[in-house]
């Protein structure tokens, strides 16, 4: 029994790690530029498929992760410059536009890679189990994903809270015009943050594809979870993305285990209650 609980806990943590990678980009993009990019799910999917292709060609998992991330950086750059800028900050239009982009990307992926679920091959060094204290056997890959998630979270947090660069980003989140007036090249800053967000989304597709598999409609499944993360944590907050991912990852894992029929309710019910008490999310500020 305690073994099962430990396993579900670890499953929840590894899902949380993956969700954090996706949601932190989404939340930063929104916090800084007020851009709602629903195509993040599609970025995850296409990054995963492209990374998978690179892993198959080169045999290197790490190369696949980097390739998945970089290809999405390129896609996002094009999408942002040609399309998203033309919505002029209207959230309704941004949502419709980026959903349209999701349709295009997801269907293109379906035409190329087909409808059967595909799994990104896990690297040799991540195969097999790890033995954790208490004789808990856990898949090495998912364990490493937890470690990676924690590392990226710590790195992002330090970057955001402790470095001059992070201070500028925070200033941009607070007051864009004022930051610009102080001589900060805000366009360059946006481009950098967008690139980081896109890289994380694409890379998370490869990382997630290695244990959740890639399949048609995965773009929506993962997007919904990421959205619940940012709703609970608060839009635009990196700490919120951490708390939200932990919450969603653990609830989803334990929910599927204890009450599979009601897993949806267990996830969305607490979100509704939180909404009643704190409409802006745990770490968010009222907009």
Partner 1 sequence: MGRLILLAAIALALATVPMLGNPFWVGLTMQVLVFGLLAVSVDFMIRQVGLFPLCNGAFFAVAAYTVAMLETGGWPTVAAVPAAIAAAALMGMAFGISVRTGGVYFILITLAFGQMALSVATSWTALTGGDNGITNIPYPAVAGVGPTDLSQMFFVVLALVGLMVLVYARIITSQFGLTLNGIRDAETRMVALGYRTVTRKYVAFVISSVFAGVAGVLYAYTNQFVSPAAASLLVSVEAGLMAILGGSGTVIGPFLGATVIMGIRNIVSAMVPGWPILMGLVFIAVVLFLPRGLVGLTGRIKRARP
**Would you tell me which residues interact with partner 1 (CB under 8 A)?**
30, 34, 36, 83, 86-87, 90-93, 95-97, 99-104, 106-108, 110-111, 220, 224, 227-228, 230-231, 235, 260-261, 263-265, 267-268, 271-272, 275-276, 279-280, 287
CB of 55 to partner 1, least distance (A): 26
Q: Which is nearer to partner 1, 8 or 108 (CB)?
A: 108
CA distance 39 to 28: 15
- Least distance from C-beta 155 to partner 1, angstroms? 26
Least gap, CB of 191 to partner 1 (angstroms):
22
Q: Which helix (H) or strand (E) holds 137?
A: strand 136-139
Pick the closer one to partner 1 by CB: 156 or 228. Answer: 228
Q: What is the DSSP string of 85-121?
A: GGGTT-HHHHHHHHHHHHHHHHHHHHHHH-SS-B-PP
Shortest Cβ 197–partner 1 spacing (Å): 16
33-55 as b/e: b if 16+ CB within 10 A: bebbbbbbbbbbbbbbbbbbbbb
Measured distance CA(23)–CA(215) in Å, rounded? 20
d(CA 235, CA 225): 14
Residue with tokens 């102080």: 182
In the complex, least distance from residue 103 CB atom to partner 1, rounded to whole angstroms:
3
Inter-axis angle of helices 186-209 and 140-162, nearest 10: 170
Name the residue nearer to partner 1 (CB basis): 6 or 263.
263
For residues 105 and 86, give the distance between their C-alpha atoms in angstroms, rounded to a whole number. 19
Cβ-based nearer residue to partner 1, 83 or 282: 83
Between CA 120 and CA 49 the distance in angstroms is 8
Using the minimum distance from each CB to partner 1, give the nearer residue, 29 or 53: 29
Structure tokens at 227: 């959205």
Residue closer to partner 1 by CB (options 129, 279) is 279
DSSP 8-state symbol, 184: -
Question: Residue 115 CB, nearest distance to partner 1 (Å)?
Answer: 12
Please state at what angle helix 238-258 crosses helix 2-33, rounded to 10 degrees: 140
- Both tokens of 284, joined, read 């968010």
Task: Between 16 and 235, name the residue whose CB sits nearer to partner 1.
Answer: 235
**Min CB(30)–partner 1 separation in Å:** 7
Distance of alpha carbon 48 from its chain centroid, rounded?
Answer: 12
């Amino acid at each position: 029994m305690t073994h099962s609980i430990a396993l579900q806990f670890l499953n929840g943590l590894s899902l949380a790690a993956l969700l954090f990678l996706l949601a932190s980009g989404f939340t930063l993009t929104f916090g800084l530029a007020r851009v709602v990019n629903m195509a993040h799910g599609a970025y995850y999917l296409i990054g995963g498929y492209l990374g998978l292709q690179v892993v198959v060609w080169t045999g290197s998992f790490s190369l696949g992760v980097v390739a998945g991330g970089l290809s999405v950086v390129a896609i996002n750059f094009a999408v942002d410059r040609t399309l998203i800028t033309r919505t002029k900050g209207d959230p309704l239009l941004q949502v419709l536009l980026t959903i349209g982009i999701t349709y295009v990307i997801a269907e293109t992926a379906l035409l190329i890679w087909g409808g059967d679920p595909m799994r990104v091959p896990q690297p040799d060094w991540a195969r097999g189990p790890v033995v954790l204290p208490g004789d808990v056997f856990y898949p090495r890959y998912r364990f490493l994903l937890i470690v990676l998630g924690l590392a990226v979270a710590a790195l992002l947090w330090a970057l955001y809270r402790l470095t001059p660069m992070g201070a500028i980003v925070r200033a941009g989140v607070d007051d864009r015009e004022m930051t610009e007036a102080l001589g900060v090249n805000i366009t360059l800053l946006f481009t950098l943050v967008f690139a980081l967000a896109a890289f994380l989304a694409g890379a998370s597709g490869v990382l997630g594809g290695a244990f959740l598999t890639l399949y048609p409609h995965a773009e929506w499944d993962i997007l919904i979870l990421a959205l619940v993360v940012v709703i609970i944590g608060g839009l635009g907050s990196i700490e919120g993305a951490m708390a939200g991912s932990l919450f969603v990852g653990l609830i989803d894992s334990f929910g599927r285990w204890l009450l599979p029929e009601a897993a949806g309710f267990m996830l969305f019910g607490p979100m509704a209650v939180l909404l009643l008490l704190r409409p802006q999310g745990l770490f968010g500020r009222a907009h």
